[in-house]
Every structure is written in C-alpha cells, then in structure tokens.
Amino acid sequence: MQFIAHRLFGFLLVGLVVAGCSTAKRLPVTPNLLADGSGTAVLSKLPPARQTPDMEILYVTDRNECGKPDAPAYGYSRAMSVYYGVANVHITPETDWATLARDAGQPQDTENRWLEVRGLRRLGQFRPDQTRVEYVDGELRRTPECEAARAAEFQRAQDFLAGYLRPLAPEQRDVYLYVHGFNNDLEEAVARLAGVWHFLGRKGVAIAYSWPARQGNLLDYFCDRESGEYTIYHLKETIRAISECPEVARLHIITHSRGADVTATALRELNLEIRGRGPSPRQKLKLETFVMAAPDLDAEVFLQRFIVENLAGISRRTVVYTSPDDKALGLVLWLFRGTARVGRVDLSLLPCEVQELLGKLPNLQIVQCPASGLAASHSYAFTNAAVLSDLILVLRDRKDPGKENGRPLTPINHGWKLDDSYCAPPAK
C-alpha cells in the first residue's frame, strides 16, 4: 500500500507541477535589464497607434472551433483545419499608457497586473490537404485544384500578416512565433506571449501558435504527446507561410516545455526537406533565433537532432534555457524513467566530450538559469526578471553571449550561466 500511495502521490505532483506551463497570466515583473529606466524609453518611442494598454496578438491554431462565427472559441480537440486571427489582450486593473510605460522602467517586487484575452477574431483558415489528393501513377499527389486552393490560402494568410508588417520600417519587420507546452489553452498562450512582447518594446508582430493540448487529469500528458505529433504538419505549414511572406525580415521562434520538442521536430523535417533541394534552410526560413525554454526533450534525442543532423545550423542562434532545479521536468523524468531532459541539464555534469563539442558550436547556446518553487521552476524564462532580461537581449537586440557583446553571461563548461542579479541596475 505504501508503494501504491507513493506512486499516486508522484502522479499527482507531476500533474500539478507540469500544469505550471499554464499558470502565468500575470504581466511579468519588470526585467532587470529595463529597470534602469530604459523600459520606459523604449515604450515611449512606439508609434502613437501602439501606445495603448491593449495589445493585438495574432494567433494560429489547429484546435477545434466551438464558438460562433462572430465570437470564435477553441477547445481541446484536434481540428482538420488551421485557423488564424487576432486576439485582443487587455491589461487589468485598468491603467493608462503613461503609467504602464513608467512602470516598465522601474523595479517591481511583485506582479500586480493581469493579462486578459477579451476577444478573438478569426480571419481565415488552411484546409486539410488529405481531403484533396489523388492517386496517380502509383503515388498520392495533390490535385491541381488542391494546389491552387493551397496557394490562394497561403496568399490570403500572407496578405493578412503583411498588413501588420507594412506600417513598420523594413528593418523592424520581425515576427515572434510562440509555441506553448503541455496543459495550455489558446488564451493562456496568447497571454504569455503578450507579456514577453510588451517588454520587448512591442517590436514587430507577435504570433501565438496553439496546438490541441488538453486540460484535465494527468493522463492528458500522454494525449498531449500524440497531439504534439499531430500538429507538426500544421506547424510546418505555418512556419513556411510566415517565412515565405515577402514583408517578413526575420523570424524568431520561442518555445516552452513540450512545445520545444514539437517545434524541433517540425524544424528537423523542414531542415531535411530544404537541404535536399539545395538552398540554405536558415536563409530560406529567415530564422534568426530559436529559443527553447525549459525544453521537455530527451537529451540524447537533442544531441542527435542538433549535432548529428545539424539542426543547430537552421537558425542564426539557438538558445536553450535550462535549470537543474526544474521540478516539473524532474518529475517527468521520473515518470518516463528515461534519460535526462534537456531542460534540466547541469552543465558541470556533462561529459567532457559533449562540453568540448558544444564549445565548437557558437550558435548553440545553453544557458543555465536559477529556478525555485514548483510551477515557477518551469516557467522561469517568462517570469524571472533576470532570465527575461537575457531573452530580451536575444530577441530584441540579437546579441551573442559574452560581456564583450553586451550580453554579460558567465562562461561555464562551454555553456553559460546567469543568476538573479543578471543585468540588474546598480543599487542606489
């Protein structure tokens, strides 16, 4: 009985802690990097149309649609189509722009504002290719009608995205695509991205990609693993549509937890496909940055994909945020009785040959971070004022690590490390 109780307690903890992927709806505290007043300066330079507490975040999802045409909502089941539109994010309690901009440039001890999704507008969809194929000469091919319809759908989606990019200067036309993890719904993904995008200075265009993760009991984790496999094709099409939009200057992909594995698989397939045709995958996809925050990914699978298959070369920089104190991933590791998860890597314990290999890949950056608590130990990249500071330097400023590059991480075992004081302004 004691053994059974221990097992049940472990399962309960995993369910509670991994659910930390879905709890961060608060506007994060001001990142250390911005607390010297620079956060206020950045927001004050925004075009007047963007100087409002409300934010428009674009969304893409292959969740089932369950709302009304004029008020869409999305559930936890899989959809055959991929829908896209706009989400309006409101900051509560009510505040004016001047106050919001002021607070983005000074330290805060606690989060005191919430991000609330108040409305979705669906503006288009990609229909399933599997219903538009024919069997010709011993193989399945898209019908001519399918090719024409697919091209038209891509064009409509790209026109929609271009409408948000054209008002920006050409050098500011960055797209930030966020892919969430286990136990999230669409609104939570939108809210998390909105919090990061706000402190990025609301630069470029932010897009939340939401796959059909479920919410409920622990066994949904296993269902989510399969839904993650289901969404890979749709995510590939989304990345392809974004990168082929002429107005897009650079694409940055930010992932969390299970979303890191899902996205790495999609990029692996794109990498092999594009390399087989000859061009550079990095240039073809315009992929500037690939962020993997607390990735729920087998460490040996990571080494295969990023080193043996050269997935590390698909982006100008791949940044992996890890923490040996990530309790959620520790319990997932216990659950699967597998090898180490990338998100819990302790750089000091890596084999010497792995450390040396990482040292030869300057565009693959593993950053060891502080983490504490239960749910917070898995969401630190988006809530910790120090780690969020580094994320801003990576995404907004596209800086490489090292004090000489303006990103003062501490070198450790051919990787990097930061602590809670990282980028903090001098004490007065």
- Mind listing the pLDDT tens digit for each residue in 359-414? 778 889 999 998 765 556 788 999 999 999 999 999 999 999 999 999 999 998 88
Q: Is the dihedral of CA 30, 164, 228, 365 positive or negative?
A: negative
Looking at 3.40.50.1820, 3.40.980.10, 2.60.120.10, 2.60.40.10, the CATH number of the domain 2-51+165-417 comes to 3.40.50.1820
| Section 160-181 average pLDDT | 96
The answer to whether 117 and 88 have CB atoms below 8 angstroms apart is: yes
The whole-number pLDDT of residue 290 equals 98
The residues, any chain, with a CB within 8 Å of residue 335's CB and separated by 6 or more, are: 10, 11, 14, 221
Q: Which amino acid is at 301?
A: V
Task: Determine the Cα–Cα distance for residues 428 and 422; give it in Å rounded to an integer.
Answer: 16
pLDDT per position as a tens digit, 25-58: 889 999 999 999 999 999 999 999 889 999 999 9
Query: Strand pairing partners for 135?
Result: 140
Q: Which amino acid is at 349?
A: L
pLDDT per position as a tens digit, 67-98: 777 789 999 899 989 999 999 999 999 999 99
The whole-number pLDDT of residue 216 equals 57
The whole-number pLDDT of residue 376 equals 65
229: tokens are: 């496999």
Query: Strand, helix or coil at 420?
Result: coil
Q: How many residues does the chain have?
A: 428
By percentage, how much of the chain surpasses pLDDT 90? 59
The residues, any chain, with a CB within 8 Å of residue 225's CB and separated by 6 or more, are: 258
pLDDT per position as a tens digit, 334-349: 666 666 788 888 887 7
The domain spans of the chain are 2-51+165-417
| Section 138-165 average pLDDT | 89
Q: How confident is the model at residue 215 (pLDDT cuts 50, 70, 90)?
A: low
Of 284, 375, 378, 277, residue with least CA distance to 324: 378
pLDDT per position as a tens digit, 316-332: 999 999 998 887 787 66
On the question of pLDDT at 133 being above 80, the answer is no
Task: Determine the Cα–Cα distance for residues 422 and 369; give it in Å rounded to an integer.
Answer: 10
Residue 166: C-alpha distances to residues 52, 69, 142, 246 (Å) = 20, 28, 33, 10
The whole-number pLDDT of residue 150 equals 86
Query: Strand, helix or coil at 298?
Result: strand
